[in-house]
Amino acid sequence: MKKTILLSGLIAVSPLLTAAYAANTYMEAPSMDDPEIVVPDSTGFQFTDVIALKTTPVKDQNKSGTCWSFSGVSVLEEDVMRKGGPELDLSEMFIVHQNYIDKAKKYIRTGGKINFAQGGGFADVLAATREYGAVPEEVYTGLNYGEEKHAHYEMAAALKAYLDAILTNPNKKLSTAWLNGYIGILDSYLGKVPEEFTYNGKKYTPKSFAKEMGINGEDFVNITSYTHHPFYEEFAVEIPDNWRWEKSMNVPMEEMKKIVDNALEKGYTIGWAADVSEPGFQWRKGYALLPAAKGVEDMTNSEVSRWTQLSDKDREKEKNKITGPCKEREITQESRQKAFDNFETTDDHGMAIVGTATDQEGNRYYKVKNSWDTNQLYGGFIYVSEPYFLDKTILVMVNKDAVPKDIAKKFKK
């Protein structure tokens, strides 16, 4: 996911909104090559898995803003396993390629008034599998440009520059060649998508492969929770990377949590679109928390004495210092909404929720699968506290069958 703005006919885009999102795009995998980066052996936390669903291996999106595809594809792979199917390694770049074409068409039709960047959303994964199918990673790696890992900056810049040149409309009308020219650039980097391929000795098309493996985008729904739209109705979440203007079902915050909990208990993994910009999102250390602010009134005399001698910078570091389980912020529907409205919660990253856990003090967490490789404390998994989830979730993608019936019957279509 990333950041864009739902606009053109849907909403008016204010300069404030544009500026607030200008620097925000779905994140690439942070580099672990920095010699100053040290993965700690201990963080003061002891996590015990309560629900640990079987997952496909953690992958590495590397220098690409395609977390939305990696996390969405992960959920699809795990849904196949849940139904008794094989453990698949699906191509994320097949999904990315097809979405770049859909996005280009809409970018031109809206006169460049949608976000054209590397990011996207779970809706893009579902739309691509519905319309185009799926292929195995071994059939389509998307590495056609001399790199061993994904690195999309040059490609993304070239694609946008091409489209912006087309938008200048030098012929006063679109030529019949513009789309083929665009796809030519895309194919040069990612490779042509296969019309047919052989997998385990059998011939498939992308659509027949998806059908046989039980991959169906229609099986899923996006769930969100905000008060600026009515509950139990769908709306297009106003985030930049929702360039399709796809709708999510809006429910109260506690019911969003209930849906996630029910899904995990029934064996479904979940796509999680969230803000990961908080200081408490410590992915290398394997946890994400929202520590409550500690006031002077909570300190001992010796702590107050030390605090008054710190610089403003050191005080900020101290406030964000986490040495183990701690008191966290109390999250309400109102505080969640305020954080979204003030751009304190932004659409940064897509991951997959794959279980639950507790720490040594009994606090509850969601176990989250990331796509930033495995060279971290928990091999690419992160434990996310309930307050963090409640406050920083933009939306979740769940199998429709995982929605509790008492909640689903309230949905208005």
Position 193 in a domain: yes
| Per-residue tokens: 68 | 């939305």
Look at the chain and report how many structural domains it folds into: 1
> Residue 283 has what pLDDT?
93
170 vs 403, which has greater pLDDT? 403
Burial of 178 from C-beta contacts in 10 A (0-12 / 13-18 / 19+): middle
Residue 87 has pLDDT above 60, yes or no: yes
Average pLDDT of the chain?
89
As a whole number, mean pLDDT of residues 349-375 equals: 97
Domain that holds residue 344: 15-292+327-408
Q: Which H helix or E strand runs over 17?
A: helix 15-21
Position 44 in a domain: yes
> Residue 294 has what pLDDT?
62
Q: Tell me how crowded residue 38 is: count the other CB atoms within 10 A of its CB.
A: 8
Position 71 in a domain: yes
Residue 293 has pLDDT above 90, yes or no: no
Select from 186, 55, 50 the least CA-distant residue to 118.
186
Gap between the Cα atoms of 367 and 286, Å rounded:
10
Gap between the Cα atoms of 233 and 247, Å rounded:
9
| Per-residue tokens: 54 | 């079987």
> Residue 15 has what pLDDT?
35
Position 385 in a domain: yes
Residue 18 has pLDDT above 90, yes or no: no
Amino acid at residue number 357: A
Encode pLDDT of 110-160 as tens digits: 999 999 999 999 999 999 999 999 999 999 999 999 999 999 999 999 999
> Residue 285 has what pLDDT?
94
Position 314 in a domain: no
Strands 349-358 and 287-288: unpaired
Residue 304 has pLDDT above 60, yes or no: no
Q: DSSP state, 26? A: P
Determine contact, residues 61/28, Cβ cutoff 8 Å: yes
Position 2 in a domain: no
Residue 38 has pLDDT above 50, yes or no: no
Residue 152: CATH number of its domain: 3.90.70.10
Burial of 60 from C-beta contacts in 10 A (0-12 / 13-18 / 19+): middle
* Three-state secondary structure readout of 191-217: CCCCCCEEECCEEECHHHHHHHHCCCH
Position 116 in a domain: yes
Select from 124, 32, 145 the least CA-distant residue to 70.
124
As a whole number, mean pLDDT of residues 195-224 equals: 97
Position 7 in a domain: no
As a whole number, mean pLDDT of residues 75-96 equals: 97
Select from 43, 56, 77 the least CA-distant residue to 383.
43
